Amino acid sequence: MSDATAEINELVVSFIANVRVNDERSNEIAGRFTDLIANKKVKLLQLILALKDRFLSEDDQERADALACLSAVLCSLKPEQLLKNDVSVIFNFYMSKLDDEALLQQCLRGLNALVSMKYAAIDETAKLLTFLKDNYTSSNHLAAVRYIPFCILDAVQKKWIDQLSDNKNFGTLYIESYIKVASGEKDPRNLLLSFSLNKVITTKLRNFAAAHYSHQLFDILFSYFPITFKPPKDDAYKISNADLKLALRQALSASDIFAADALGNLIDKLAATSPAIKNDTLLTLLACLDTFGGKPCVEYWLPMWNALKFEIMHSSDGSENSYMDPIAKDEPQNLSHNQSNYRLSLDVLRSVAKQLVGLDKAIFVTYATHIIEELKPNFQYTKDLRQSCGVLAAIGSANLVAFNEIIDQTLPLFLENTSEISKLKLMLLNLSFFLDSYITLCKGLQGNESELNTFIKENHLNDQKDEILMILGMALTSNSKIEVTVRTLSVIQFTKLIKMQGYLTREEVALIIQYLTETILTDTNKNIYYACLEGLKVISETYEDLVYDVCLKQLLDLLPNRFNELVLYHKDEEIIQIDIVLKVILDFTTSRHTLIKESIVALIRKLLDVYNTGDDEAVDYCFVLLSTIYSLFDNNIVMMDIEDVTNIKKISESDIFTILNNDSESNAILLDDQNLSLISNLLYFLNAKSKREIHQEELIRYNNLFIDEYHVISQSSRLVLPWVKVLEALDKDASFAELHKVMDSAVTLVRNSSTTQMSSFEKLGYMELITTLVNKWFNGPEENIVIEKYVDWSNHTTVNLEMIAWIAKGLIMKNSPVSEVIVSKFLELLNDTEYGVVSSKLFELFVVDISSLGKIKGITWNNNVKMLYKQKFFNDVFQKLVASYGQPNLSLDIKCNYLTALSLILKHTPNKLVEQFMNDLLPMLLQALEMPNTEVRISALDTLKDTTEKFSLLITENIDTLLHLLLKLVVPGSEYNNVTVRLLALQLIGLLANAVPLNYLQPYKQEVINSLLATLSDKKRVVRKQCIDTRQIYFELGQVPFE
């Protein structure tokens, strides 16, 4: 036992030494006491005896430290670890110390721990509550001390909530204790707990609270409303203004016992001039209405309406422009502190309507009729119509009863068939609110099938459907195309009708699709175009089959077989441009599976028909069709599933090969470079998203076709490109039996290209074939075979160097270490006076993108291209280029080679990769601006333009050199200062005004203004305009802007 006593004494001494000095250490010691007690090695009584002398000390701090030790141990104990008798004895001990002011904080802390113990008695808890009610004065203590009574109250309600709600004396004692503790509190952390406890009292002790304490409880809360608290910078508790606002709002709206006090006071607060206070008030009012029910609304709906109508009628929210925006989203916003006061005011009126309908329909009718009668003159005199309709539509969106009442009383005020443009415009704007109301109601009923079906069947807007459709149809078709506003509004309202769940029949939807199709084809106004486009997209989400039957089929049927044929539209026999039809198809089919699939299949079939005409116009028409099909694939390939693409391939691949298999001299696709490139890429898309398990047999089939039938490796052929695109799409793990044979033949054909009159297009195709084979199928040890067998540095012909570069590209893209051998040799060639120029231009090839050698999301097996290969290549090459460029005694031509190589690499390298090298790069970029090479200058200007602001200090250090170089580049006449160079230089001069400190740039102000004078007469308008803008920046340099 003596050992235990010694250990206790040692721990006590250690605790006392650390308390108030090292909280972490003192808590650790308290934990060791707890372990000893839990393991029954010591008893709590032994600790108390060890602390006895300190408890009796005349020194306040020593007594407080001793009690802190005991309280810390109690806080560390689990609720079941203290026996009933221990709890009682210690509880009475703590209660006896409450009169000692120096010990109050630690007393409360220990009592808080005891209240939560399993064997704490209700009588003892009542004694503690009585102390808080009668003897505790919060204003005498700091926030940290005041926090503990709130914790005690929280612990009491968690342990004794049933007893508190059943026992009147205990419950009222708790409430009175809370009122005493919470009154006058100001600390944010304490307030959060206070608001939470208030909510517990008004909900779980409702009967006791409502009887005598509702006003006091409300006053405690409302004295803080509205909260303007701003947390200090170093707030340890991370409590925000929004946290306090939300907690207070939840407390005020927790129970209807506050109804009489809250609604009146909140309505008074609506008169506040601060938008933030008004916003908080509206949000709180909404929360209260949802809880309080309909009875309080009977008394307060009129003063509420009177308080809100000024806010609503003078709001600019939901202006006419928002209704004219064809792609504006009309979905109701979620309730949040950022929601506008206008929207919140409407939500309050909606909530009142909902509560009154639930209470008594007659009272709701009185409410609605009063507001309608007050707003009627606005319809007569067309004043504040938008706001008036907003109010009525908001009330109508409460539920079916409210909706029908509003529709019956309001629509007759403005819905009429009129040909007056001004009236028609207002009517369409007004109607929009009530269509939104229908949409809002349906969304609120999602998940409640029965109520939703009832609303769809019984809403009174059904009675007006025929008239609405007739008015919208007349507004769209009977008005001049000059009347853009009315026509746009009618399209927007048609779109809203589609969004109204269950409102239209399929026949009516088909009619609207027809309206929109006719309009989008025949109206050239961009607002109307986008409104119709949005409408067709919305319809496609629900009625894709109808859109296909009514719209897409019609559009596809309009396309003629010959480019010079007129596309006559049946409506007034209007002439429609082919490119308009294709643009509409491309724009509205986005992301819709069926429409994309049917469009691609039909357009490929049309392509075959056009191709078969064989006339002179077929080349251009085929290009337009192929561009559209390519865009449909390119825009949607990620979301297209394998089944869709497989089906398209089954249907359309034969049509593509019918075209490719025709070696006629008038083949509009095979003999045109652009068309053949596009149709080749279609084969890429068809195979890239096909089933992976068939790729092996497909590779065999395609190889047999192109090698044996089309003879692409025995002689040069334009069909090499479609074959390459197919190979780039197929699985890299598929076995390529003829790999070495194909590679040998491709290399031979390329090397002999100058003697066999191979076209540049064909040569490019074979080069890409070599890159694809190296990247996908020459792996591991075979990469070295490629170097040994096909890389011949003794042959310095341009075509051979190009071919080696294409081989290197295949290796570089998969980060192969073998590629370093080739790149190093090309770096050496840059120093060669004879071959350096050719070699420098080949560096662009290493980083230029080939779209069909990219990645499609979800497909990892079609190539060995690494995501960060450009980063690795740039990191490897940049320092070598810089070091070589910095060699002494280099001629200008050799330096130009290095700068050309660097500039062409930068042209295709993301700026983020370049930034870390700017200190070394800037001197080279400045010299590149003087090089007699347009591409080098453009690349250098692009890099400088993208990095100027980020590296303003570095730019400032070189401002004199840079600015004078740029002023030389804006002068027309030089063969290297083309329009792009001049434009970029002017833009960069303008950017310098923001990047360089004023005191460094001010000395150059007049020089820049004067030097740019000649550029004002530049032949290119775009350059003249930029010159004016740049000069204006320098005219204003250093001036104080007007407020």
Q: What 3-state class would DSSP assign to 575? A: strand
Cβ-contact 145, 189 below 8 angstroms: no
Query: 567 - beta bridge partners?
Result: 576
**Which structural domains are found in the chain, ordered by start?**
910-1043 (1.25.10)
For 171-210, give the DSSP string: HHHHHHHHHHHHTT---HHHHHHHHHHHHHHHHHSHHHHH
Residue 988 pLDDT > 60, yes or no? Answer: yes
Provide the pLDDT for residue 338: 57
Residues 897 and 837: their CA atoms lie apart, in Å, by 6
Residues 65 and 63: their CA atoms lie apart, in Å, by 5
Q: What 3-state class would DSSP assign to 756? A: coil
Q: Tokens 């045109």 sit at which residue?
A: 672
Question: What's the gap between Cα 50 and its chain centre?
Answer: 63
Residues 386 and 904: their CA atoms lie apart, in Å, by 58
Provide the pLDDT for residue 243: 92
Cβ-contact 818, 811 below 8 angstroms: yes
Q: Tokens 């019609």 sit at which residue?
A: 554
- Which token pair is 939? 């690349």
Cβ-contact 909, 870 below 8 angstroms: yes
- Which token pair is 980? 């792009």
Cβ-contact 922, 865 below 8 angstroms: no
Cβ-contact 376, 413 below 8 angstroms: yes
Q: What is the mean pLDDT of residues 328-343?
A: 57
Most confident range (mean pLDDT) of 13-17, 177-181, 382-386, 929-933 is 177-181
Sorting pLDDT into bands at 50, 70 and 90, what band is 1042? Answer: very low
Q: Angle at which helices 295-313 and 361-380 pack, to 10 degrees? A: 20
Residues 520 and 526: their CA atoms lie apart, in Å, by 9
Provide the pLDDT for residue 330: 46
Closest C-alpha among 813, 815, 810 to residue 791: 810
Q: Tokens 């192969």 sit at which residue?
A: 816
Residue 418 pLDDT > 80, yes or no? Answer: no
Cβ-contact 900, 935 below 8 angstroms: yes
Closest C-alpha among 999, 918, 1011, 917 to residue 963: 1011
Q: How far is CA 899 from CA 453, 892, 910, in A?
A: 72, 10, 18
DSSP symbol at 970: T
Cβ-contact 86, 71 below 8 angstroms: no
Cβ-contact 390, 312 below 8 angstroms: yes
Greatest Cα pair distance in the chain: 116
Write out pLDDT tens, residues 669-689.
888 999 999 999 999 999 999
Provide the pLDDT for residue 572: 56
Provide the pLDDT for residue 326: 43
Sorting pLDDT into bands at 50, 70 and 90, what band is 913? Answer: confident
Write out pLDDT tens, residues 65-100.
889 998 988 998 899 888 888 899 999 999 999 988
For 453-469, give the DSSP string: HHHHHH-GGGGGHHHHH
For 209-251, give the DSSP string: HHHHTHHHHHHHHHTTPSP-----TT-TT---HHHHHHHHHHH
Closest C-alpha among 549, 535, 529 to residue 595: 549
Q: How far is CA 419 from CA 97, 283, 404, 494, 594, in A?
A: 89, 43, 28, 18, 40
Residues 573 and 940: their CA atoms lie apart, in Å, by 55
Residues 615 and 629: their CA atoms lie apart, in Å, by 21
Where helices occur in 752-797 by DSSP H, the ranges are 760-776, 781-790
Q: What is the mean pLDDT of residues 411-431?
A: 86
Residue 327 pLDDT > 80, yes or no? Answer: no
Residue 160 pLDDT > 50, yes or no? Answer: yes
- The helices-and-strands tally (H runs, E runs) of the chain is 54, 2
Residues 308 and 344: their CA atoms lie apart, in Å, by 10
Give the least confident one: 57-61, 237-241, 562-566, 956-960.
562-566
Provide the pLDDT for residue 35: 86
Provide the pLDDT for residue 322: 47
Q: pTM for the whole thing?
A: 0.78
Q: Find all residues with CB under 8 Å of 564, minimum gap 6, and list them.
A: 617
Query: 856 - beta bridge partners?
Result: 859
Write out pLDDT tens, residues 885-900.
888 888 888 888 888 8
Provide the pLDDT for residue 200: 95
Closest C-alpha among 750, 768, 909, 935 to residue 851: 768
Q: What is the CA radius of gyration of the chain?
A: 41
Instruction: Outline where DSSP puts E strands in 517-666.
Output: 567-569, 574-576
Q: How far is CA 1022 from CA 703, 984, 1028, in A?
A: 50, 11, 10
Provide the pLDDT for residue 316: 63
Cis peptide before 226 (omega within 30 of 0): yes
DSSP symbol at 1004: G
Q: What 3-state class would DSSP assign to 127? A: helix
Cβ-contact 113, 75 below 8 angstroms: yes
Long-range contacts of 541-546, Cβ-Cβ distance < 8 Å, separation of 24 or more: 541/592, 542/498, 543/498, 543/506, 543/509, 543/513, 544/592, 544/593, 544/594, 544/595, 545/594, 546/506, 546/509, 546/510, 546/513
Per the document, the length of the chain is 1043
Sorting pLDDT into bands at 50, 70 and 90, what band is 23? Answer: confident
Write out pLDDT tens, residues 548-589.
999 999 999 989 888 777 676 655 567 888 888 999 999 988
Q: What is the mean pLDDT of residues 864-882?
A: 90
Q: What is the mean pLDDT of residues 130-151?
A: 93
Write out pLDDT tens, residues 694-708.
999 999 999 999 999
DSSP symbol at 85: H
The whole-chain average pLDDT of the chain stands at 89
Residue 731 pLDDT > 90, yes or no? Answer: yes
Residues 771 and 140: their CA atoms lie apart, in Å, by 83
Provide the pLDDT for residue 598: 93
- Which token pair is 184? 């006058």
Write out pLDDT tens, residues 356-408.
999 999 999 999 999 999 999 988 888 888 899 999 999 999 999 999 999 99
Sorting pLDDT into bands at 50, 70 and 90, what band is 251? Answer: very high
Residue 329 pLDDT > 80, yes or no? Answer: no
- Which token pair is 403? 């909706």
Cβ-contact 422, 479 below 8 angstroms: no
Most confident range (mean pLDDT) of 474-478, 617-621, 832-836 is 832-836
Residue 348 pLDDT > 70, yes or no? Answer: yes
Provide the pLDDT for residue 569: 64
Q: Tokens 């000893």 sit at which residue?
A: 36
Provide the pLDDT for residue 568: 64
Neighbours of 829 (CB within 10 A): 21
Cβ-contact 289, 348 below 8 angstroms: yes
Q: What is the mean pLDDT of residues 462-469?
A: 93
